[in-house]
């Protein structure tokens, strides 16, 4: 199975009322992506793109995205639906940039509209068309040996109807990751079967002193890695993509997520660097080598239990806590409880850019 990597640009909330704050930040993100992120597969824009769904707001967005060197994909949010329809959204955005499904790097990517079936505002629902489309595409993914990924504006727990059923469809369909916006803050959920991620908005930010940025999401052999980058962060960007961090285990018998004791391959993605990274376990450093796929690898020895793994390159740095178990150590697992709900938030994870305070209008923030 090949890996996939994308850039998530948080909810833009483009609005003249704040002197186009989100627009200026979007242009800076586009410049950084063009300069440093050329090996990513695409850029995702998760809804609440135009704060009031107006023609001018979309025109400004399209102009800012035009120089982007990577393909970009977009979905609507409740602010896009503020006029009561998606007429301006659909008129401004080419169909190629708003597909319902696309196979990218061997992963079946499903882009869901959760706003059109509602009455406006955060009345999130799926149309019967999208319910049927979801079931069909998850079945196709399983039949084709593809890993399904879902892109939607909010968590299933935020849906006004059938959120639990949708989340169970994700579980049954073996969805590896669901990428969302809406929260205004950085967050990861692990309901025991599926990982969910939300990236802070590009405008209307309360957490981290209002610092904007973007997220880099990777899925490698069903291992999810997620890192938020502030716009002022030093380069290079270093991200361990395999094995998995203990916080993001959904398949505890999968050796890619929970490796066996002994020799383990560490895999990392680096952006904006020409130097050689080093993998560290304990006091031992192992230089990494770059393969034809652009990924950096090193083989290290891991003991049973929890192992800290680091990859360093100049000022770039990443660290995971890797759980190692013998093949016979099969954990007891309960049936999923409250799938797709934010009660499964993993909490603060500083190296990923998550402070856990939930400073946004949907939880502990101001009322935008």
Listed by start position, the domains of the chain span 4-233, 246-324
Angle (nearest 5°) at CA 60 between 58 and 66: 100
- Contact indicator for 244, 253 with CB cutoff of 8 Å: no
CA atoms within 13 A on the CB side of 130: 19
pTM of structure: 0.97
Which stretches does DSSP call E strand in the chain? 4-8, 42-45, 72-74, 101-104, 107-111, 147-151, 177-180, 187-190, 195-198, 213-220, 223-230, 237-242, 262-271, 278-281, 284-287, 289-290, 296-302, 305-313, 316-324
Cβ neighbours of residue 132 closer than 8 Å, sequence gap 6 or more: none
Measured distance CA(316)–CA(311) in Å, rounded: 8
Measured distance CA(90)–CA(137) in Å, rounded: 23
Residue 273 is predicted with a pLDDT of 85
Quickly name the fold that domain 246-324 has.
Immunoglobulin-like (2.60.40)
Take residue 365 and report the two structure tokens written for it: 């923030």
Q: Is 42 helix (H, G, I), strand (E, B) or coil?
A: strand
Q: pLDDT digit of tens for each residue in the chain (368 aa)?
A: 479 999 999 999 999 999 999 999 999 999 999 999 999 999 999 999 999 999 999 999 999 999 999 999 999 999 999 999 999 999 999 999 999 999 999 999 999 999 999 999 899 999 888 899 999 999 999 999 999 999 999 999 999 999 999 999 999 999 999 999 999 999 999 999 999 999 999 999 999 999 999 999 999 999 999 999 999 999 999 999 999 999 999 999 999 999 999 999 999 999 998 899 999 999 999 999 999 999 999 999 999 999 999 999 999 999 999 999 998 888 888 889 999 999 999 999 999 999 999 999 889 988 77
Residue 92 is predicted with a pLDDT of 98
Residue 332 is predicted with a pLDDT of 85
Q: What is the CATH number of domain 4-233?
A: 3.60.21.10
């Amino acid at each position: 199975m090949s890996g996939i990597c994308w850039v998530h640009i948080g909810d833009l909330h483009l609005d003249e009322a704040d002197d186009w704050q989100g627009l200026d930040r979007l242009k800076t993100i586009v410049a950084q992506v063009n300069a440093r992120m050329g090996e990513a597969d695409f850029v995702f824009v998760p809804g609440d793109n135009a704060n009031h769904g107006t023609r001018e707001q979309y025109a400004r967005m399209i102009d800012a995205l035009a120089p982007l060197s990577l393909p970009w994909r977009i979905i609507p949010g409740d602010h896009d639906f503020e006029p009561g329809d998606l007429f301006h959204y659909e008129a401004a955005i080419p169909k190629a940039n708003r597909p319902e499904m696309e196979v990218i790097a061997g992963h079946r990517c499903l882009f869901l509209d959760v706003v059109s079936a509602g009455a406006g505002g955060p009345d999130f629902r799926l149309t019967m068309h999208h319910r049927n489309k979801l079931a069909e595409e998850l079945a196709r993914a399983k039949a084709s040996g593809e890993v399904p990924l879902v892109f939607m504006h909010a968590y299933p727990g935020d849906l006004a109807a059938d959120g639990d059923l949708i989340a169970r469809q994700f579980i049954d369909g073996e969805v590896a990751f669901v990428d969302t916006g809406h929260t205004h803050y950085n967050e990861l959920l692990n309901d025991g079967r599926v990982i969910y991620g939300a990236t802070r908005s590009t405008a209307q930010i309360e957490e981290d002193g209002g610092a904007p940025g973007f997220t880099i999401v990777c899925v490698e052999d069903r291992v999810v890695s997620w890192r938020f980058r502030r716009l002022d962060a030093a380069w290079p960007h270093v991200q361990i993509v395999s094995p998995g961090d203990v916080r993001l285990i959904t398949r505890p018998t999968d050796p890619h997520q929970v490796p066996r004791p002994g020799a383990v391959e560490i895999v990392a993605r680096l952006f904006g660097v020409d130097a050689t990274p080093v993998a560290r376990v304990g006091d031992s450093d192992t230089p990494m080598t770059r393969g034809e796929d652009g990924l950096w690898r090193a083989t290290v020895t891991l003991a049973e239990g929890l192992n800290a793994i680091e990859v360093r390159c100049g000022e770039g740095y990443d660290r995971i806590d890797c759980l190692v178990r013998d093949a016979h150590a099969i954990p007891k697992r309960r049936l999923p409880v409250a799938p797709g709900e934010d009660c499964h938030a993993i909490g603060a994870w500083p190296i990923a850019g998550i402070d856990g305070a939930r400073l946004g209008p949907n939880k502990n923030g101001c009322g935008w």
